[in-house]
Structure 1
Amino acid sequence: MDSVTRKAADFVARFDGAGAPARARHAARIGFVDCVGVMLAGAGEPAVRLAATIASPVPGSNEAPVAVDGQSYGAAEAAFVNGVAAHVLDFDDVALAGHPSTVLVPAILAEAHALSASGEAAIDAYLVGYELWAHLAELEPGHLHDRGFHPTAVMGTLACAAAAARLRRLGPEETAHALAIAASLAAGLVANFGSMTKSLHAGRTAQSGIQAARLASVGYTGSLDALEHRTGFLRAFSPSGAPDLDPAAFRIGEEWLVERFGVNIKRYPTCYATHRAIDAMIDLASEHDLASEAVETIHVHTGATQRLMLRNTRPRTGLEAKFSMEFAMASALLARRVGLAELTDGFVGRPDIQAMLERVDVTASEESAGTDMPMAPHDLVWVTLKDGTVHRHAPVEHARGSWQRQLEREELEAKFRDCAEIRLPPERAARLFATLWDIEAIGDLRDLTLN
């Protein structure tokens, strides 16, 4: 292949899932499981209800999947509603500096339903989307967040188009057009973190991926050098201004990046940039039985890009608090947890929480871990008491639940059921988890119901 665009399209169109390593397929499996759980938990949120008002139900159509809000929609609009639901709580898994499952899973489940595709085909679609995103990201030395772009909405649009093209069995030429179309649909700003619009990024991304593949399937065209052209996707979104556009550097199909990066399962419904520090703060609070009135200052040293994402130093709402290191530390100290019950307007507005925000000091380093995530090599947390005592936690390199510190199946099921049982009876939630855990055994994804 003589271009990035055509090389990407050839990989997607000719992908053979039988050659995927077990570890890669496991990453896809837990991506589906975790995403469906948080999707169900988010289904009743105001942002989802509002987004659904602009989606048109299609009752009575066997090709229209039922979304988590209980309505049947065409595939693209079902992906839109489910994508918003999957991301609205910010409890979905992370990797590749973004949230691959929160866009891939809604897009794949919706389009697979319309096509009567199998669970095995869904796993294959996830893997091609993930690998495309990961290998394109390898061509860029900078971080999209630093430029103000949300990677989930930018890289995710191409990933979803690749997944949908794979489900539709498009050939290399049609797939290249699908990727070119998707390149012009990609968008999403970090400035909207902490608002409803962040979850809109996920819904629109999943929807756009399906639309791009469907347009290409009926003959709609794009530029077949849309990724690598000097006015194309990679240059337009480049924070460094110097992406590597040499097709030889684009090693898709040569190495499984999903094996290396996997998916990181969130234990807290906040921006992942807070998770290492939350682990440390909960440890300190529990180990030393810290009382809030004894604390003078909570110190956090994190990465500069992490700090950029955590834009809300004095949050007043649950949405704002998801992007606040100050809130994360206050909740970890006062509640000894940071869960869905704490990410509410009422809890965030409590006088003791608001007072503790003033006692959190956050500093940042430009040092980078050099991985798929825009993080410092580790986070540091220490607490100074009013009597001068200092309690320090060891540097935290990987959060609990990360690909490097994976949760066991029982722990994944516990999170899934906590989320799903917000909407489903316990026995139904348990059956759904078991079904998703063995998703490759599903012969027709129309048999999978989320309600």
Structure 2
Amino acid sequence: MDSITRKAAEFVAKFDLASVPNEAVHAARIGIVDCVGVMLAGAREPAVGLVACIATPATGSNDAPPAVNGLRYGAADAALVNGVAAHVLDFDDVALAGHPSTVLVPMILAEGHRLQSSGQEAIEAYLVGYELWAHLAELEPGHMHDRGFHPTAVMGTLACAAGAARLNRLPTEETANALAIAASLAAGLVANFGSMTKSLHAGRTAQSGIQAVRLAQSGYTGSLDVLEHRTGFLRSFSPSGSPDTEASAFRIGEESLAARYGVNIKRYPTCYATHRSIDAMIDLADEHDIAPDDVAIIHVHTGVTQRLMLRNTRPQTGLEAKFSMEFAMASAAITRKVGLRELTDDFVTRPDIQAMLEKVEVTVSEEKDAGDLPNAPFDLVWVTLRDGTVLRHEPVEHARGSWQKQLRRSEIAAKFGECAGILLPEEKVGPLFDRLYDLQTVNDIRELELL
């Protein structure tokens, strides 16, 4: 009998990159290059060092994948460390109500290094993981964030198991077991947003995908109806309580959702729920040359789920500020920037920033966009000045850098240079970007030499 679990396993095992639209391959390529840059930028963050302390370095073998801290580990632990580094700044790309690249890329780099996978095989692994995540999400009418689950850590665990199974060329039965094992390793709570644990979600998810495949290869088994069973993955994590568990509704392989939804490249190292409003606030400040002292109120109208994620109304640290619409508006209004330099404890606690937080008023809409993100159809921002003047920005449906407003190669390279340059010497940054952007031409992932 056909089932969602078996259809998923067959798709992964029999995936044919030649049948994939060019748009999907482009999404994978820019997702990978952007994630590597952000991962390098996050390498020296305290959370990465703390997690590295629980991983076991491997010695005496070039087969052990390198992590951004300069040490080599077994593949699962390398994925753990690099996954935390990729997500700790919250500067990684967004899609499918989560962060596919921040879990898939660390897994691919680690397992691909061990297997000496090609760039084309890396893209295949990325796309099978993305497509599985996307098509499973299509079966659920609700949003995981509303239930308190972080999709990156829940859906991402299955995606990473799929990608790792593809890299290892697992047959269908072993792939199904790997997915079943991964389904029981999935976990992550929205309540931990704004803390170090959010980045642990990414590292642990990348690690779990590799571990699930290792277990399946060894003969470890799981339930081969784990996705659709009434006590299985889809129902257990369902915010609506009514996912579609009919195999006929699961249309993986019939349409590329990577081509439809792509990836949204972040221009600001904050929760993506703030990005449309940041674009609007910076536009207003630039267009009207707004002096911060002239601002009476900054009004933001956004989505209810966006507001749920932006839990910190009066942040006192850089981590907390990443999940604060009030901080996003304060930084945009005062400096007309929201970048890595602004996401520091010292900047967040500046008296002028703290004072501006008090001037931000946020209202919400229950209306949801029909796309892959748990957003309202648009964000609205308007500013009331002390003299009573009201300055309004037109509704913002898509942030700059989104799949609908894509960045040019030069703009992606500029962000990569800003991020990777934190760790790498200048002469290595440009060549690394070019190799990653043209990943299909790379014969062996080891050629990338990230460090």
Residues 216-231 of structure 1 mapped to structure 2, 5 A cutoff: 216-231=216-231
- Would you say 1:417 and 2:430 are equivalent positions? no
Question: Structure 2: how far apart are the matches of 1:138 and 1:396?
Answer: 25
Residues 135-146 of structure 1 mapped to structure 2, 5 A cutoff: 135-146=135-146
- Would you say 1:398 and 2:398 are equivalent positions? yes
Give the counterpart letter for 1:210 in structure 2: I
Give the counterpart letter for 2:440 in structure 1: E
Task: Give CA-to-partner distance per residue, 1:330-364, whole Å, 9 cap, x none.
Answer: 00000100000000000000000000000000000
Question: Structure 2: how far apart are the matches of 1:59 and 1:93?
Answer: 33
- Would you say 1:288 and 2:312 are equivalent positions? no
Contact preservation (8 Å) 1:321, 1:348: yes
For 1:361, what is the secondary structure of its paired residue?
A: strand
Task: Give CA-to-partner distance per residue, 1:388-414, whole Å, 9 cap, x none.
Answer: 000000000000000000000000000
For 2:64, the equivalent position in structure 1 comes to: 64
Deviation, 1:150, is 0.2
- Would you say 1:80 and 2:80 are equivalent positions? yes
Question: Structure 2: how far apart are the matches of 1:428 and 1:158?
Answer: 34
Question: Structure 2: how far apart are the matches of 1:168 and 1:61?
Answer: 20
For 1:5, the equivalent position in structure 2 comes to: 5
Question: Structure 1: how far apart are the matches of 2:288 and 2:196?
Answer: 37
Question: Structure 1: how far apart are the matches of 2:65 and 2:432?
Answer: 16
Give the counterpart letter for 1:414 in structure 2: A
For 1:5, what is the secondary structure of its paired residue?
A: helix
Contact preservation (8 Å) 1:282, 1:332: yes
For 1:181, the equivalent position in structure 2 comes to: 181
Residues 95-114 of structure 1 mapped to structure 2, 5 A cutoff: 95-114=95-114
- Would you say 1:350 and 2:350 are equivalent positions? yes
For 2:279, the equivalent position in structure 1 comes to: 279
User: Quick check: 62-71 or 160-169, which moved more?
Assistant: 62-71
Deviation, 1:214, is 1.1
Deviation, 1:46, is 0.3
Deviation, 1:62, is 2.2
For 1:380, the equivalent position in structure 2 comes to: 380
Deviation, 1:436, is 0.3
Question: Structure 1: how far apart are the matches of 2:32 and 2:181?
Answer: 26
Question: Structure 1: how far apart are the matches of 2:353 and 2:59?
Answer: 46
RMSD: 0.6
For 2:155, the equivalent position in structure 1 comes to: 155
Structure 2: runs of 5 or more not aligned:
none
- Would you say 1:255 and 2:255 are equivalent positions? yes
For 2:78, what is the secondary structure of its paired residue?
A: helix
Question: Structure 2: how far apart are the matches of 1:31 and 1:388?
Answer: 44
Aligned length: 451
For 1:20, the equivalent position in structure 2 comes to: 20
Structure 1: runs of 5 or more not aligned:
none
Runs of 4+ in 1 over 6 A off after TM superposition: none
For 2:361, what is the secondary structure of its paired residue?
A: strand
User: Quick check: 438-447 or 186-195, which moved more?
Assistant: 438-447
Give the counterpart letter for 2:221 in structure 1: T
Contact preservation (8 Å) 1:66, 1:449: no
- Would you say 1:44 and 2:38 are equivalent positions? no
Question: Structure 1: how far apart are the matches of 2:298 and 2:258?
Answer: 36
Deviation, 1:250, is 0.2
Contact preservation (8 Å) 1:261, 1:403: yes
Question: Structure 2: how far apart are the matches of 1:276 and 1:11?
Answer: 35
User: Quick check: 262-271 or 9-18, which moved more?
Assistant: 9-18
Contact preservation (8 Å) 1:383, 1:392: yes
Deviation, 1:61, is 1.4
Question: Structure 2: how far apart are the matches of 1:98 and 1:225?
Answer: 25
Give the counterpart letter for 1:386 in structure 2: R
For 1:102, what is the secondary structure of its paired residue?
A: helix
For 1:315, what is the secondary structure of its paired residue?
A: coil
Give the counterpart letter for 1:109 in structure 2: L
Task: Give CA-to-partner distance per residue, 1:242-262, whole Å, 9 cap, x none.
Answer: 000000000000000001100
- Would you say 1:438 and 2:435 are equivalent positions? no
User: Quick check: 191-200 or 420-429, which moved more?
Assistant: 420-429
Question: Structure 1: how far apart are the matches of 2:446 and 2:369?
Answer: 42
For 1:238, what is the secondary structure of its paired residue?
A: coil
For 1:200, the equivalent position in structure 2 comes to: 200
- Would you say 1:362 and 2:362 are equivalent positions? yes
Task: Give CA-to-partner distance per residue, 1:129-185, whole Å, 9 cap, x none.
Answer: 000000000000000000000000000000000000000000110000000000000
Task: Give CA-to-partner distance per residue, 1:41-91, whole Å, 9 cap, x none.
Answer: 000000001110001100221221111110000000000000000000000
TM-score for both structures, normalised by structure 1: 0.99
